[in-house]
């Protein structure tokens, strides 16, 4: 097989040189309307080929490798006074595997507990390529899994943030149940795309 980014022969799916280059990218933070901070690790265009591997069995492996250098490291340095739930945006796999479930799993630590399937979208609307206005008029309508109510604090996880509308809606859904979202963690920020 070949490196997903440079196409040189490689058995891991991503070569050390490309991985190193990717990991040198500067982290970003975006503050959404309403105050939610969204931390991202990569530029959208750098990570795009990896996100597109969703339906290939080895895409899972590459994403796990990347999560171990980003989300996992983040969790190892994160301390909080009580247990925090790691909640993914709709981690139901469509086809291959769930990006967000892999990222959420990588956050497991002394302070962070992954809660899978905690937020389910009632409305299966696809936001890709849609305007902010469309998103606003067609909210996902999140339903919370009861066990997430055992937590007072949460971290939201998604693979990509675009308008930030979904994250904002998820934060509000948690808020209604008395759960405070500390921040959101995503692989990439696609704001300028």
- Contact residues toward Zn ion (CB under 5 A) are 3, 5-6, 15, 18
Cβ 21 to Zn ion shortest distance, Å = 8
3-class secondary structure, 19: helix
CA dihedral of 99, 102, 106, 109, whole degrees rounded to 10:
110
As given in the structure block, the two tokens for residue 147 are: 């066990």
Cβ 129 to Zn ion shortest distance, Å = 29
Cβ 74 to Zn ion shortest distance, Å = 24
Cα–Cα distance between 27 and 32 in angstroms, integer?
Answer: 16
Instruction: Decide if 99 contacts 70 (C-beta within 8 A).
Output: no
**Of the two residues 20 and 122, which places its CB atom closer to Zn ion in the complex?**
20
**Of the two residues 7 and 175, which places its CB atom closer to Zn ion in the complex?**
7
**Of the two residues 69 and 120, which places its CB atom closer to Zn ion in the complex?**
69
Cβ 185 to Zn ion shortest distance, Å = 25
Instruction: Decide if 162 contacts 190 (C-beta within 8 A).
Output: yes
Residue 177 is given by DSSP the state T
**Of the two residues 3 and 148, which places its CB atom closer to Zn ion in the complex?**
3
């Amino acid at each position: 097989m070949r490196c997903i980014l440079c196409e040189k022969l490689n058995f891991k799916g991503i070569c050390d040189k490309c991985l190193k280059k990717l990991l040198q990218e500067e982290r970003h933070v975006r503050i959404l309307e309403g105050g939610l901070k969204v931390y991202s690790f990569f530029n959208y265009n750098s990570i795009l080929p990896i996100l597109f591997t969703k339906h290939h069995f080895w895409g899972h492996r590459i994403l796990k490798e990347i999560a171990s250098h980003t989300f996992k490291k983040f969790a190892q340095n994160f301390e909080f006074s009580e247990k925090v739930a790691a909640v993914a945006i709709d981690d139901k796999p469509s086809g291959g595997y769930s990006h967000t479930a892999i990222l959420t799993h990588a956050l497991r630590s002394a302070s962070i507990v992954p809660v899978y399937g905690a937020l389910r979208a009632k409305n299966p609307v696809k936001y890709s390529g849609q305007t902010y206005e469309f998103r606003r008029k067609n909210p996902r309508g999140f339903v919370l899994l009861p066990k997430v109510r055992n937590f007072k604090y949460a971290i939201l996880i998604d693979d990509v943030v675009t308008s930030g509308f979904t994250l904002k809606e998820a934060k509000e859904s948690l808020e209604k149940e008395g759960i405070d979202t500390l921040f959101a963690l995503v692989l990439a920020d696609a704001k300028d795309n």
